[in-house]
Structures are given as structure tokens and as C-alpha cells.
Structure 1
Amino acid sequence: MIVTFLGTGTSQGVPVIGCGCEVCQSLDYRDKRLRTSVHIAVEGKSFVIDSGPDFRQQVLRERIHKLDALIFTHQHKDHTAGMDDVRSYNFKQQKDMPIYAKAEVIEQLKREYAYVFSEVKYPGTPSVEIHEIENRPFQIEGVNITPIYVLHYKLPVFGFRIKDFTYITDTNYIDDKEKEKIIGSEVLVLNALQKEKHISHFNLEEAIAMVEELKPKKAYFTHISHKMGTHREASKELPDNMELAYDGLKIHM
């Protein structure tokens, strides 16, 4: 399995428009963060979790020429705004793009992309094949995936475990039953928005505490805002088995 971080930034990305802070002015490539998304290459298959506003730029940068499925964690715009660009894969692969999401996300996609789901379609619009998922394991082309139900303040969000890799973004609460699904992961990716407390995301202290409780071999933090500080300085505060992810980082498992 190869996991590539397509984006590791929060909803505004980093740098933030109009911001002159140290992070937004940084020349370190690790401080340039597109909206959060990840690519997973496993068993010959190619999956992307979340297609935010930067989806086109991300897949071009990583030269992802084949995509077998698009999986959504939740319905917020910074995770769904790039879905239209699957049409390039429609043309190249000559088939509908399988979309996996829970019912609430599907309903949101149907509102935001009404032209995709219209009975009379304009030529060239994306073609998708919808698969509704619930909080139980499912398969995509023979690859087993386990959803992990978490809360983003009061909004239900799905994380996902594939083999010994677990990916969770946009949460500040995981109950004990869902934690059991994570235990034993070799690699855990978890959101850590900033150092200050936040109403709907783990801050850095909370994310570190969650990793220490779940005990993966290695953890990476994502969905990072400019309020975290520079990658170089914030990394000095982390335990040995934890790292801040950055755009383009690859994990080989």
C-alpha cells in the first residue's frame, strides 16, 4: 500500500488569502497546504478520499492517471467541491466513477451537483455510480474498508480503515466502540487543526493524547491550519512516533 497526502490543510488552505503571518509567508514547501485529501494505492486499485476544491491540482501533481473510486468522509465543501473533475477520468476510463458516501453526503451532492444527477444530462457532465455506505464494513473491487463513525462537533463523519492504515479527519470526538476499530493500526492519520482548542476539531494536544491512547506504531496529523505554526517549529513539539503530514508526503506500507 502507498498512501499519498494530496492535501493537509484546513478549509481555507495555507497560505490563507490576505494573511501576512509567519506561516502564510513561509517559503518552506511543507507550509503550503491544499485542502485535505488522500490517495491510496492498494492491491492494484486507486482510491481518493475526499475531492476538495484543489482536487484537479492535486491529482495532476501526483500524476494519478487511474482512479477506481472516490470515497467521501462528509459533506462539507472543502471535501466535496472538486467532484466535477472526475469527468476527466470518465473520458479516459470510459466508465462511470464509483462514489462511496453515506446517505446525507449523497443528498448534499445531489443538491450541489444537480446537473450530474439530472434525468436529461448536458453533454460532457460527470458520470457517477452512487454507492451508499453505512457504519459497517464494505468492499471496493475486493478491497475491504471499515468505516469509523466520529463526530465533527455534532456532524457525523466517517473515517476509514484499510488493512493497517486508518484515516480520520474532521473530528473532535471518537467513542469507545469506534476506537476499537482503530486499535492495532500500524499507521493512524488524525486531524490536528491548531494549538488552541476548537469547537469541532482536535487541537494538537488532544490529537497527541488520542494517539497515545490508541497506540499506533506511527501517526501523522492532517487538516492543519496556519494557526499551528510552521512545520519546522511545530514538529519539535511532537513525540518520536508522530509527525505533521505535508502535501506530497508518501507512506509505504
Structure 2
Amino acid sequence: MAKFFQKNKTIHDENKLEIVSDKSPFAYVEAYKTLRTNMNFLSRNSQYKKLLLTSSIPGEGKSSVSINLARVLAENGKRVLLIDCDMRKPMLHRYLRAQRFRSRGLSTVLSGNSTLEESIATFSDLQFDLMTAGPIPPNPTELLASAEMGNLLELLETRYDYIICDTPPVSLVTDAAILSEYCDGVLLVVRQKYATFQQVKRAKQNLQNVHAQILGCVLNQYDVSKNVRESAGSAYYHYQYGDTKLASDGMMQ
């Protein structure tokens, strides 16, 4: 298992991703702590260890939410694994500066070309583990729907308190809907004033069609009133499918 060290827990690369740290604005930190509290409360009453995060459309910030949720859960003493399940346009390796780890990841584990131990990176500073998407395969949907994927998550469940699966937008491809069969619950990331009501409704329906357990929504780039607004940093998120490229700049609350 490889180990990575972040000199600064708040990463400012070309994607401008803000990772929760003691230097983050109060409102930004409290938003994720609230999400953590809600997840811990759910876990006390039911087993929600394997979490799937998705969005309606590209650009809603689901990867930044995935990273920060992993961060605050691990900070609370939980064993957390973050998996990049987007084997079409993977981004977590960029956000976490793990480009050199891209040769081994989810796709190589599922295809039998690498072991689990070889394909998990430990971030000592961030306190959680990462499995990148690995090399982009020609059949991502088939790999995610395979029995090997279900078996992998069952094995990982014995080693971690939480497994967070970052997936493509559910309205664009079927990957998230298919993978939800192997996960305990789904969080739908919705960027305020970005995705339309119909797009969010369609995303919800796509998940319901496969009987996914929708735990709730994370409202991203929430705009509080001017009287109580506090600077909360930003998470700038790029996602591209074909010729379409969108970005988001916002906070989760």
C-alpha cells in the first residue's frame, strides 16, 4: 500500500479544490461536520457503510464533496476509503495529486491486473485511503456491474468503516445507477441555481428506477442571506464529457 503526504491539507492546484482543514473558513468546516453528524446518526440506526455520491449533471461539485466527506469522517477516527468509480473522466487523482498512482486502481483490480494492496494509496495527512479509477477501460459499465465489483465492496467493508464511491452524473450514464445495487445508500449532490428542477427530478427517478436507497441531497454552493453570509472558500470543479465542459464554484451546506 503506497503512502502519500500532503504538506498542506488545503490543496490549491489548477482545480482550486478546498479540502477541509484547520485553516478553512468556519462555515465551510461546519457544513461538512453537519454532513458527518448526519451520516453517523444514520449509521447508528442502519448499516450505511458503502456510500455512493453522484449528481444530476456535470459541474455540481460531487467530487469535492466526496473528498471532504472522506476527510471529516476520517478526522473523526473512522477508517475511510475513497474510490474513484468514474472510469470515464476520473478526477480524484488530480485533486489529490496522485497522478503517479493512476497505473493501478479500480479498473486494474476488477480486471485482475493488480492486487488490492497495490492499488490503494494512504494519505497520512488527510487520514483516509484512496483507490483511483486506474487506466480508463473500454467497458466501465460492465466492470461496475460485475460480480467482481460486488465482491470487492464486500471485502472492503470488512476493512473500513466507510467506503465512499464517487461516480459519474446519473443523468448522463448508467454507471451510478448500476453501482447503487452494491451500495448501502446514495447521496445526490445538487448545486444551487445550476441544475434545473427537471434535471434533479430525472436524476432522482433514475435512481428510484433501480431501487437505490437515496439517503438525501447535499446542497452545493448554498447562498445564505447577506446578513449571515460568511466567506467559505470555494471548490472549483471541472468535468467534461465529449465537447461539454462545465465548472462550479461553491460551498456545501
Q: Which has the higher contact order (CA 8 A, sep 6+)?
A: 2
Sort the TM-score into its range (normalised by shorter chain): 0.3 to 0.5
Larger helix fraction of residues:
2
Q: Which structure is larger by alpha-carbon Rg, 1 or 2?
A: 1
Larger strand fraction of residues:
1
TM-score, normalization: structure 2?
A: 0.35
